[in-house]
Amino acid sequence: EAGVTQFPSHSVIEKGQTVTLRCDPISGHDNLYWYRRVMGKEIKFLLHFVKESKQDESGMPNNRFLAERTGGTYSTLKVQPAELEDSGVYFCASSRNTYGYTFGSGTRLTVV
């Protein structure tokens, strides 16, 4: 089966601009997650979708971050406006159930 696909793989934007990251989960996986790793820190949970519904968004840092999953398929994570501290690697993962996480390759976001 195809894995979790994320794009772009890299994005460099200026502070104040908007960036949208996309994640295509494995077909049939109802659960979709966003995580991120900022420089020098551990990977941290952002949010969890079950189909198109946000199940848990306790990790979203602030209201500059907006995640959507229209139709319960692919998901987007928009950062608007981007700040320097948003730089890092954003990972998406999907699973059919609790214990079957598959991660994507990540999007490396650099805000300058």
Partner 1 sequence: SQELEQSPQSLIVQEGKNLTINCTSSKTLYGLYWYKQKYGEGLIFLMMLQKGGEEKSHEKITAKLDEKKQQSSLHITASQPSHAGIYLCGADMRGAGSYQLTFGKGTKLSVIP
Q: How far is the CB of 83 from partner 1 (least distance, A)?
A: 23
* Token pair 């602030």 in the structure block, residue: 62
Asked if residues 112 and 14 have their Cβ atoms less than 8 Å apart, the reply is yes
* Token pair 């994320």 in the structure block, residue: 6
With respect to partner 1, which residue has the nearer C-beta, 55 or 80?
A: 55
Tokens of 3: 């894995």
With respect to partner 1, which residue has the nearer C-beta, 14 or 97?
A: 97
Please, what sign has the CA dihedral across residues 93, 79, 74, 55?
positive
Could you list the residues that contact partner 1 (CB under 8 A)? 3-4, 9, 31, 33, 35, 41-45, 48, 55-56, 58-59, 91, 93, 95, 98-99, 101-106
Q: How far is the CB of 22 from partner 1 (least distance, A)?
A: 15
